[in-house]
Structure 1
């Protein structure tokens, strides 16, 4: 079937930001602008600023880490303002180019960045052709020490882990290639040890997002579990976060921390609709009568088994819901197969597909296995952004398995179309029960972060409240209104998870406001917040 992807972005050819009309400006030269006070750091000492965190600290954007994104990273923006108030140099582990991606000994291990392809995010190489990923963790790592210790992919406990930056541990899944680039001659040093070894006077810590995000981006399928709340440092979130704060402040360092946003509100989970199947699509619409005929047989079984709510039917006049696998439903695989095998009309139904009547048990078991926990999606289900690339596409692995059971290639392909004849697997969708797990963990982690910040006297940024504002109407800063919409909102980059440069600028202002409130600095009152309009929302495919 024809690929169904980013259908609600197809008309957004060159629109990247949602901006307001400029406010009226009084150009009367006889009126002097109000003088602003000189910038002061208050009681804060910015002379040696170190930032710790994950991709949100590193400057990750558009699905990759690359020089332009790093230059607009949250801590780098902050450091430029700190420099005016007594701050020192701020060194980042810059990548080799603006392609993005990583290599190890010449072998690519992370792909290049995303770009806007006219209807939605696409790979850089689909626009400009093949590129050589130049940032190689085995060949050309930069020399530290580094002030920006943001490690893409890091969870809270990874900041305490020895060997997390050891090249030899990467193939074992015990090290992070981005941190390998920072460790140099001390490959077994932890992120936290690297930070305190530099005797910071001020730090920023934004960690914990990946402790829930990993579970969310894998659809809650269990391959990337939520970090437990309880457990010793390096295992449980509470004691790990406590150890981070205690160690960072033990030498008298001041700092600012941020909590965890509600990840289910970011574009990665809100862009793909639950009902993307358009009857006007020439590759889907003509098949609806046949599909409804097949599901009509199955719906009779659902009714017989007392679960008519599981019935599946595609509309010929409106967009239809995709079919998903819901592991919370009672598995009726055996019952479905039993009812079909007992039906005297089922062999004739099987023959209508060109199969012999003797294949009826095989088909009955196939339908039972496939739809034993299936249902139509609802508006309460959330779909991960990559699902847009698979909905409506045949699953070749499943098709191959069906062919091995005796189905023809054509029939196997027809019964393996993702979201239509093959229910979308758990990894593509967050059902309400999984969303509740994420919400509960986020609330618990945020309570821990808030309490730790308060106890240590640190500045605190409510990033969760900020994202809620972006998702519910947007935030106006200067002449621009930023929202949580993919591509058009201006705040989130093309991966639907990480901010744009403009989004990082908005965050930097919130960090400075929090520092003002805690340490008596006056970034805001002195006019030293950044103008978000000075920061881009996208990068050209030709940027190298």
Structure 2
């Protein structure tokens, strides 16, 4: 059915013209407006909807979980649409306030949320002063059951793990404090068991991001390894993911799953440039001549050893690259120490720092140990967002170590400036080989997700392609264009990892489109996708 509406357009003509001139005639221009079909669920049963996942489904944003963010969580947005076609109540384990953070018996274990400080993300307390974190995993956990079982920090195998919500296991690193808030009198229950115990008619599952993200956010330093692709349930991604879907669908539940974005495209890894050292910075520019003098000695050694590409030089006219440690490089520590120790001019160089010539062996060893696996960063290196507050600062631990080795405090400080005289450690940067590891794992995980979803007849959301679109030109939804830029892009929150409320709304639309395609619902065709413009992109520091 179509309705015809008429808009009367009048034309006012200035000047002396006859009343029957064409410009004086009232024009009627028809605009065709289509009646939208009535919303239907198709074959989907939304009567009891349960969501499983991690921080991306919990409503995590701005580096924390807090009530306002949870209100705009992806599954909560979906549940509001599901209620229009038979969906029931949707209960979330709400935090105590809008401060963010967690405490245990009054002791803070995670800090409050980030806010916009005028130039970029800053901690909430730097704007409004000290606060007391009110969400306490010992004192005030909510009562379930909960439909939103998103557990920030959870990996695929964690959803299968008994005791993952046991308070006694938190100090052992075997439990997640966010899940502790949900388990109540059943501390050994797993996330999957909690979901199945509710006999869901429909579920959403978005898990696997942390299986690679943990490795990425730690700069690939090995402290948070990528989950093995293959292995038994609770060990490998294929076994864990297969077990999750098989158990959830065993009772006839329908569902929607999402694949994993390539995390190296999110602003957490694309915001900090590889060349942030500005020669006009009064803390850096005046030091360039001295720094280049020091590195000039080292660069001669690099040339002698046949690796001139490792040379380091800071520009006086353009932004310079930071210095990083690259563990894939051959370790030349011993060779550098040997060459410097054998140089007849090196003792005089050491004396230029106010040290005695007898300190030459010590300095040679220190330089060898510090610069044996270093190079200047390139545009192919990615820096984690927290490195922005580290680059250019003095590493106190390094100062202490150098002083213990015999250097005076001032000189120890000069050789301990992060990213300049002290190479950035692996945890701050993803080098190309680490990015490749992430890409390979992501592709393998996504193949598993697609295969399992297809075999189970589930709807599949291609979150990987969605992120690629955000990172390469953006996505237009209604009157708004969202991109992957930090702060200005509207899609990602201040932590550079999790979406804004508007970003979650965009994702909710993609989930509904996938459900439409699989179950014959018509959220999109009936005009029932959400208007992303109705969702905020930031929260005020005074939001309590």
Provide the TM-score with structure 2 as the length reference. 0.95
Q: How does 1:230-269 map to 2 (within 5 A)?
A: 230-269=230-269
Give a deviation string over 1:60-101, Cα, whole Å, max 9, x none.
000000000000000000000000010000000000000000
How far residue 362 of structure 1 moved from its aligned partner, in angstroms, is: 0.4
Q: How does 1:41-120 map to 2 (within 5 A)?
A: 41-120=41-120
Q: How does 1:8-19 map to 2 (within 5 A)?
A: none
How far residue 31 of structure 1 moved from its aligned partner, in angstroms, is: 4.4
Partner of 1:393: 393
Q: How does 1:161-176 map to 2 (within 5 A)?
A: 161-176=161-176
- SS across alignment from 1:28: strand
How far residue 230 of structure 1 moved from its aligned partner, in angstroms, is: 1.3
Q: How does 1:72-471 map to 2 (within 5 A)?
A: 72-471=72-471
Quote the Cα distance in structure 2 between the aligned partners of 1:390 and 1:349. 29
Unaligned runs of 5+ in 1: 1-25
How far residue 28 of structure 1 moved from its aligned partner, in angstroms, is: 2.6
Quote the Cα distance in structure 1 between the aligned partners of 2:415 and 2:243. 52
Q: How many residues align?
A: 519
Quote the Cα distance in structure 1 between the aligned partners of 2:484 and 2:323. 27
Partner of 1:22: none
Quote the Cα distance in structure 2 between the aligned partners of 1:185 and 1:134. 22
Quote the Cα distance in structure 2 between the aligned partners of 1:49 and 1:477. 26
CA spacing shift, 1:278–1:137, aligned 2, 3 Å: same
Give a deviation string over 1:339-384, Cα, whole Å, max 9, x none.
0000000000000000011100000000000000000000000000
Give a deviation string over 1:174-209, Cα, whole Å, max 9, x none.
000000000001000000000000000000000000
Q: Is residue 522 of structure 1 aligned with residue 501 of structure 2?
A: no
Quote the Cα distance in structure 2 between the aligned partners of 1:273 and 1:386. 12
Quote the Cα distance in structure 1 between the aligned partners of 2:6 and 2:78. 31
How far residue 231 of structure 1 moved from its aligned partner, in angstroms, is: 1.2
How far residue 32 of structure 1 moved from its aligned partner, in angstroms, is: 6.3
- SS across alignment from 2:476: strand
Give a deviation string over 1:5-60, Cα, whole Å, max 9, x none.
xxxxxxxxxxxxxxxxxxxxx99387463211110000000000000000000000
Quote the Cα distance in structure 1 between the aligned partners of 2:534 and 2:135. 28
Partner of 1:23: none
Partner of 1:501: 501
- SS across alignment from 2:34: coil
Partner of 1:28: 7
Q: Is residue 511 of structure 1 aligned with residue 504 of structure 2?
A: no
Give a deviation string over 1:104-126, Cα, whole Å, max 9, x none.
00000000000000111000000
Partner of 1:10: none
- SS across alignment from 1:411: helix
Say which one has the larger Rg. 2
- SS across alignment from 1:33: strand
Quote the Cα distance in structure 1 between the aligned partners of 2:62 and 2:7. 43
Quote the Cα distance in structure 2 between the aligned partners of 1:256 and 1:242. 14
- SS across alignment from 1:518: helix
Give a deviation string over 1:222-273, Cα, whole Å, max 9, x none.
0000000111100000011000000000000000000000000000000000
Quote the Cα distance in structure 2 between the aligned partners of 1:256 and 1:130. 42
Quote the Cα distance in structure 1 between the aligned partners of 2:31 and 2:296. 76
CA spacing shift, 1:27–1:442, aligned 2, 3 Å: farther
Quote the Cα distance in structure 2 between the aligned partners of 1:451 and 1:157. 18
Quote the Cα distance in structure 1 between the aligned partners of 2:219 and 2:343. 37
Give a deviation string over 1:134-192, Cα, whole Å, max 9, x none.
00000000000000000000000000000000000000100000000000010000000
How far residue 540 of structure 1 moved from its aligned partner, in angstroms, is: 0.2
Partner of 1:491: 491
Partner of 1:20: none
